[in-house]
Structure 1
């Protein structure tokens, strides 16, 4: 796979399944270099043996939601001004109808149980900001008054656009469209949508989640109040009346839960997906996300947070009868589980896949999955097997893919370290690049990974693992580096690398490089301060200076303190900036201008120190990008990043 082949990486979003199991609807997305953005549409496949057909022809249609009668699909699409709005289209296809016209854009949507209304969250913009006044740009806006401990978010910007709850009548999908008025002395107001939504919440608090109660009288959602002084990750669950907006607390912060999602079962039972953060409200390291059933006596866990991890990005709840379906990440895979209300857990689908979304109805289940040879497919599950309804990975396979080989190495203290090696075709020996993932509570998996594939295509073997601190191996594995970063995780990364290289004659242990992003950037910087064998290093979007992190990062109010502590001596003992004077390895520092997760100051201070010390160092800054450049950045920037990475390795670790 070459850099430009990222266009073949087609992913599948969370599917929707008709109540009679006759068809499924899903959205695809892929990078398009010419358009310089992600593109995708809605698709429909009739079950069980239909051929997928395109339903819409928008630029980036997503998040399909079927109406209760299966006749209409609500989905999200950008309007003419680039703002995300709700649209409707008949389930059989046709011209979409625009439902909303929100200045701040829609973030989520849901059908009412009777199918007559739609609930949605949308950001509310203060008049005069963000282009609401024609000809007035950001530089002319008034100053922002900030009083809380959080003020910005990666990929979003300032938190002065809270998301609020709305309901709107659902127009008929075949309604008469609105037409551009002809010029007149008195020009009538141009109408875009059929009705005005009712706003249910207001103020500075932002809301997430639009789960209807079974009777359709309330929306169950999560308010996010910006703390005044002390960080608090505990969530409240609030029900908001759709007629009048009256609020009642369903669950308070005394439960000590940080909640990612609220789901309401068909019989009205409320399920939560979240984790216990303790009395401090901050214990988030290796959070152990579980499913909770909200009983009259409070939330009751249905899964074991010590061994089952439901916190993978994209994880969600769906209901199959009285049971709930959830995604569990384990050893680089993400499997689909069924959980009963009695807490009985059974695997629905697993193997060498990462389940990214699912839907159930009438005894059938469809799942979106990623595999070693595809970024996304839609499967119809039958027992413990899955039958592919799509073949979206064909184009990537045609460009050339190497399936990584799984390895497990025993570390210096007897601990097993799990990971993979990807090797070019041939006998070698090949130069080797040690690749380190972000997080730290994240993991490498079995899905088709463009960063590894591009390096292998260029002639490099790639070794990568999930050291202690990673997700998918139980909470003790994830929590073992709490306030001890750069210890056990460092040992595991190096021991796995040494073990794999020593055991495989195709790998040249004398020609090695190292690279990683975010926490992987941290670990790369840590390694090269302690191990000088590498011909070169790439430190990307790194967590490099824990001292500066609290005052600059969007998660600075809690992340650093929980991971490295607050004692200055202990922080220094885990800080790459504290040992930067020991670095001798040629280093490329990659960063994005709008990265608010690991702000650009992390990169510039580290780079300046390298240059001051006479290290062979370069820095590459991507304008307009944030922490998600490698996953969701502009396709042309992603290609340019690959070109820079390969150029760096060609100069410092050339293939024979």
Structure 2
């Protein structure tokens, strides 16, 4: 795979399925270099064996949700200004009808149980800010008064645009189109949407989630109020009365839960995806997200938080009778589980896959999955029959050429097993080897088609990558073992796995090696090159590099460093790449994004300046307009430019062929 082959990486979003199981709808997305953005549309496939057909032709349509009768699809589409709005379209095709015209854009949408209304969340912008007044640009806006512990977020910016809950009548898909008014002496009111949305929430508190109760009188949502003095990850779940906006608390902060999803089963039972953050309210390291059911005396946990991890990004719930379907990440896989109300857990879909979305109806399951040879496909499961793919979206990537990595487990220096993979070019080698390190740290490398690895293999490099202690998918003890001990067990595991697989394979050249990683991987790369000088070069990307300055600049600085490296200055310094930067001798490329608020730009500039002061051969590349998600969701041209810079760096310091 070459850098511009990222256009072949087609992902499948969370699908939905008709109530009778007769068809499914889903959205695809892929990077497009010509448009320089992600593009995608909605698709429909008749089940069990139909051919997918395009349902919409927008630029970036996503998040399809079928009405309760299966006749209409609500989805999100960017308007002329790129703001996500709700549209509806007939489930068998037709011209979509715009439902909303919000200034701040819509985040999520849900049908009422009777299919007559739509609830959605949208950001509300203070008049005069963010282009709401023609001719008033950002530099001319009034000053922002900040009194809380948080003020910005990666991918968003300032937190002065709270997300609120709205309800709107669902229009008929046969409604008359709306037309722009002609010029007139008395300008008529411009009607863009069929009906005015009814706003349910108000004030500075932001809300996430819109889950209707069984009779359609209330909407469940999770408020997020900015704390004044200290961070608190404990959430409340509130039932909002649709007609009046009255709030009824159904889960209080006393439950000590951080809630990532609240959903209502068809019989009205409330389920949560949540993790216990302890009495301090900030214990988030290896959080152990579990499935909970809400009972009269409070939430009851149904899954074992120590061994079952439901916290993967995009994890959600589907209901099948009394059972709940959830996604569990384990050893680089994401499997689909069925959980009963008694807590019995049964695997529905496993194997070398990552389940990224699912829906179920009439005993038929559809699942969006990624796999070693495909970035995304839609699978159908009927009873005990083997899962069957109804798409072949990975064909283009396979035609360009991909290598499926080999899985290994190495025993580390203290006897601990370390799990990971090696991807190698065709031939006998010996090949130069690049050690890749993932972000997080509570994240993991998986089995899906990974462009980062494939591009390096295509260029002639073997790539070694693992899930050391601190990673997700191996139990909470594995994830929590580096709490306030970063750069210890995780460093040992990364290096032991690397040494183990390189020494065991004569195709891997132990004398020609490099190291790279992003976010926590950037932290660990910087840590590695301060303690091990064998590497010909290094790439430190969007790194957590200076824990001492992190609390005052990162959007998660109010709790991340406190939990991971602690607060004692000596202990923080003992885990800090900046504290040992003077030990680095390895030529280092520092990659960062201008609008990265997770690991802010000053983390990179301080580290780069220190390298220069120490006489290290170093360069820095900063991407304008990008945030922490550059490698996954940045502009496609920037992603290709970054790949070109990575390959250029390795060609200079670690040529793929012997001289």
Question: Where on the TM-score scale, by shorter chain, does this alignment land: which range?
Answer: over 0.9
d(CA) in 2 for partners of 1:49 and 1:429? 46
Pairing 1:443–2:444 present: yes
Deviation per residue, 1:421-471 (Å, 9 max, x gap) = 000000000000000000000000000000000000000000000000000
**Counterpart in the other structure of 2:267:** 267
Matched position secondary structure for 1:433:
strand
* Partner residue in 1 for 2:616: 615
C-alpha deviation, 1:655, in angstroms? 1.2
In the other structure, the counterpart of 2:186 is 186
Give 3-state SS (helix, strand or coil) of 1:250's partner: strand
Aligned to 1:526: 527
Q: TM-score, normalised by structure 2?
A: 0.99
Say yes or no: does 1:256 pair with 2:256. yes
- TM-score normalised to the size of structure 1? 1.00
Q: Distance in 1 between matches of 2:243 and 2:184?
A: 39
Matched, 1:480 2:481: yes
Paired residue secondary structure (1:334) = strand
Per the TM alignment, residue 385 of structure 1 is displaced from its structure 2 partner at its CA by 2.7
Q: 1:306-339 deviations in whole A, cap 9, x for unaligned?
A: 0000001111111011100000000000000000
Q: Distance in 2 between matches of 1:227 and 1:38?
A: 35
Residues of 1 paired with 2:491 and 2:83: CA distance? 44
1:327 matched residue in structure 2: 327
Is structure 2 residue 633 aligned with structure 1 residue 632? yes
Alignment check: 8 A CA contact 1:374 1:392 kept: yes
1:417 alignment partner in structure 2:
418
Look up the match of 2:142: 142
Q: Deviation above 3 Å: which 4+ runs of structure 1? A: none
Offset, 1:384: 6.5
Contact 1:349–1:385, Cα closer than 8 Å, also in 2: no
Structure 2 Cα separation of the partners of residues 55 and 271 of structure 1:
32
User: What does residue range 220-619 of structure 1 map to in structure 2 within 5 Å?
Assistant: 220-382=220-382, 383=384, 385-619=386-620
Contact in 2 for aligned 1:165/1:207 (Cα 8 Å): yes
- Aligned-pair CA distance for 1:191: 1.5
Structure 1 residue 269, shift from structure 2 partner: 0.2
Determine the C-alpha separation between the residues in 2 that align with 1:354 and 1:245: 39
* Total equivalences in the alignment: 656
Q: Is the partner of 2:567 in helix, strand or coil? A: coil
Residue in structure 1 matched with residue 87 of structure 2 by the alignment: 87
Query: 1:381-407 CA deviation, whole Å, 9 max, x = no partner?
Result: 132731001000000000000000000
- Which consecutive unaligned segments of at least 5 residues does structure 2 have? none
2:113 is matched with 113
Q: Secondary structure at the match of 1:432?
A: strand
Query: Counterparts of 1:611 and 1:82 in 2: how far apart (Å)?
Result: 41
Which runs of no fewer than 5 residues in structure 1 stay unpaired? none
Give secondary structure in 1 for the equivalent of 2:207. Answer: strand
Verify: 1:642 aligned to 2:643, yes or no.
yes
8 Å CA contact 1:12, 1:26 repeated in 2:
yes
Which residue of structure 1 lines up, in the alignment, with residue 65 of structure 2? 65
- Give distance in 1, aligned partners of 2:386 and 2:305: 26
Are 1:44 and 2:53 an aligned pair? Answer: no
Corresponding residue SS for 2:446: coil
Q: What secondary structure sits across from 1:398 in the alignment?
A: helix
Q: What is the aligned partner in structure 2 of residue 199 from structure 1?
A: 199
Separation in structure 2 between the aligned mates of residue 190 and residue 360 of structure 1, nearest angstrom:
41
1:347 is paired with a residue whose SS is strand
Give the conservation status (yes or no) of the 8 Å contact 1:349–1:384: no
Give the conservation status (yes or no) of the 8 Å contact 1:73–1:90: yes
Separation in 1, partners of 2:146, 2:541: 30
Please give the alpha-carbon distance, in whole angstroms, between the structure 2 residues aligned to 1:88 and 1:134.
30
CA distance, structure 2, for counterparts of residue 304 and residue 150 of structure 1: 32
1:218-274 CA-to-partner distances (Å, cap 9, x unmatched) read: 000100010000110000000000001000100100000001000100000000001
Aligned to 1:96: 96
For 1:455 and 1:158, the matched residues in 2 are separated by 37
What's the CA shift for 1:189?
2.3
Quote the Cα distance in structure 2 between the aligned partners of 1:379 and 1:76. 23
Cα deviations by residue, 1:342-375 (Å, 9 ceiling, x for unpaired): 0000000000000000000111100000000111
Is 1:290–1:303's contact at 8 Å kept on the other side of the alignment?
A: yes
Three-state SS of the structure 2 residue aligned to 1:385 is: coil
In the TM superposition, what whole-angstrom CA distance separates every residue of 1:79-106 from its partner, at most 9, and x where no partner exists? 1121110000000001100000100000
* Deviation at residue 190 of structure 1 after TM alignment: 2.1
Question: Offset of 1:291 from its aligned partner?
Answer: 0.2
Deviation at 1:136, TM superposition (A): 1.0
Give distance in 1, aligned partners of 2:45 and 2:177: 28
User: 2:609 is paired with a residue of what secondary structure?
Assistant: helix
- Tell me if the contact between 1:148 and 1:226 (Cα under 8 Å) persists in the aligned partners: yes
CA–CA distance in 1 between the matches of 2:528 and 2:594?
A: 25
Aligned equivalents of 1:282, 1:362: Cα separation in 2: 41
Deviation of 1:135 after TM superposition, in Å, equals 1.4
The alignment yields a C-alpha RMSD, in angstroms, of 0.6
1:180 Cα deviation (Å)? 2.1
- In structure 2, distance between residues paired with 1:33 and 1:71: 35
**Native 8 Å contact 1:290 1:308 kept in 2:** yes
- Take 2:438 and 2:245, find their aligned partners in 1: how far apart are those partners? 44
Q: Deviations over 1:569-599 (max 9, x none)?
A: 1000000000000000000000000000000
Which stretch of the first structure deviates more once superposed, 152-161 or 184-193?
Answer: 184-193
